[in-house]
Amino acid sequence: MRDMIRDEVRAAPPYAFQEALGDVKLDQNEAPRDLPEAVRRRLLDRLADADWNRYPALRAEEAHRALAERDGWHPEGVLLAPGSNVLIQTVVIAAGLGRTVLTVEPTFSVYGQQARLLGAKHVSVPLQSPGFTLDVEGIERALKQGPGVWFLADPAAPTGNRHDDGAVERLLDVAREEGWLTVIDEAYWPYDRRHRLDQVRGQPDRIALRTFSKADAMGGVRLGYALGATETISELTKVVLPFNVSTWQSTAVALLAADAEANAAREARIEEAIEERARVYATLEAMERVDVHPSVTNFLLFSVPDAKWVYDQLLEAGIRIRRQDHLPGLDGHLRVSMGTPNENDRFLDALTRVLNLEVTHG
């Protein structure tokens, strides 16, 4: 039986996420508000008219055109998939097998997980303290040992910061010279109001990843997409399994990308998250025994004296946040997503009570 499964699969741990109870859900960086009811009804009406007994379009052309229009991109330079995770796997297969997958650490764990599962060499370069900045010299040394795939989440996850523009530009140039494909994961760019598409446009060695799971409030639908040069996207399309985007998924994208009410609601969600991030940050910063890090995303990373105990106490109070203390360089850290103002108030009130108890506990 053991010989039937590859060693890389047996050695890899499963993706770490523990489902927890609690009526305030601030653990997965989702949008706290769903789509407007009128938008949901329009989407359901379109789904009711679709042919469910037929295969979807091979490349979900209508959805690709809608995304291209929204993001100012060429339709042939867009690749839609059932979640950004699928595209991460696609890129590793296309450009990482037999080569190297380079990441920083800490970062989104799926990059390294897919490298190890698929048998690619995984190299990680720790971020520097303070501020989780890029180790430019260390990453340059790793790039010179390539080629392969370099994943850079910017804005960064789980740390929440935006990387220095000059450092990123310098490393992009080195990566191109050394034959790497660079993937800039922009899952959280809407909350920063800045992106790096100008550094991707017209560059066949670079792609940007985006998701519908955050600002677009479609985490349950599982949709992500890549933007890149048409020749690069054409090669990646060969790796993605055919008919992988369902009629339901492509219909949702085609409607939401072009729907005025949906886009207005998206902007309102983004603005609320930015305002709440500033408010919650200020409150955490004023708390004793809390060290909170600046963020340009829809979450905040902070440390406390006993992260596991604080997490457990918050869970007992019905508040679900995310432990990060298992990640390299993040001892004692927790992460909280921005919810509605009421949800954030409940988190802050509960944390205040827990920290008061922590004095006795400690």
CATH of domain 15-31+262-361: 3.90.1150.10
**CA 118 vs CA 98, 111, 225, 267, 334: distances in Å:** 9, 11, 21, 38, 30
pLDDT reported for residue 3:
76
Q: Which of 263, 271, 264 is nearest to 341 (CA)?
A: 271
Contact assessment for residue 224 and residue 215, using Cβ atoms and an 8 Å cutoff: no
**What is the domain partition of the chain in residue ranges?**
15-31+262-361, 48-261
Q: Strand, coil or helix: what is 19? A: coil
DSSP 172-226: HHHHHHTTPEEEEE-TTGGGTT---HHHHTT-TTEEEEEESSSTT--TTT--EEE
pLDDT in tens, 306-357: 999 999 999 999 999 999 999 999 999 999 999 999 999 999 999 999 998 6
CA distance 134 to 131: 9
- The C-alpha angle 254, 258, 264, rounded to 5 degrees, equals 130
Neighbours of 179 (CB within 10 A): 13
CA distance 295 to 275: 12
Indicate the pTM of the whole model. Answer: 0.93
- Supply 67's token pair: 């995304």
CA distance 272 to 188: 14
pLDDT reported for residue 362:
47
pLDDT reported for residue 21:
72
- CATH for 48-261, among 3.40.47.10, 3.30.2020.10, 2.70.150.10, 3.40.640.10? 3.40.640.10
User: Helices 341-361 & 260-285, crossing angle to 10 degrees?
Assistant: 20
Let me know how long the chain is. Answer: 362
Beta strands in 30-161 (DSSP E): 78-81, 100-105, 121-126, 148-153
Own/partner pairs, 165-173, CB within 8 angstroms, 24+ separation: 167/133, 167/134, 167/136, 168/134, 168/196, 168/199, 169/199, 170/136, 171/134, 171/136, 171/139, 171/140, 171/143, 172/199, 172/206
- Supply 257's token pair: 């990308």
pLDDT reported for residue 59:
87
pLDDT reported for residue 358:
58
> Which residues have a Cβ under 8 Å from the Cβ of 41 and sit 6 or more positions away?
none
CA distance 238 to 278: 43
User: Helices 109-117 & 84-91, crossing angle to 10 degrees?
Assistant: 50
Instruction: Name beta bridge partners: 323.
Output: 334
CA distance 191 to 303: 22
Site of tokens 């399309």: 237
Backbone dihedral region for residue 226 (phi beyond 0: left; psi -120 to 50: alpha; all else: beta): beta
CA distance 162 to 194: 9
Where the chain has pLDDT below 50, the residues are 1, 362
Q: Which of 78, 107, 85 is nearest to 223 (CA)?
A: 85
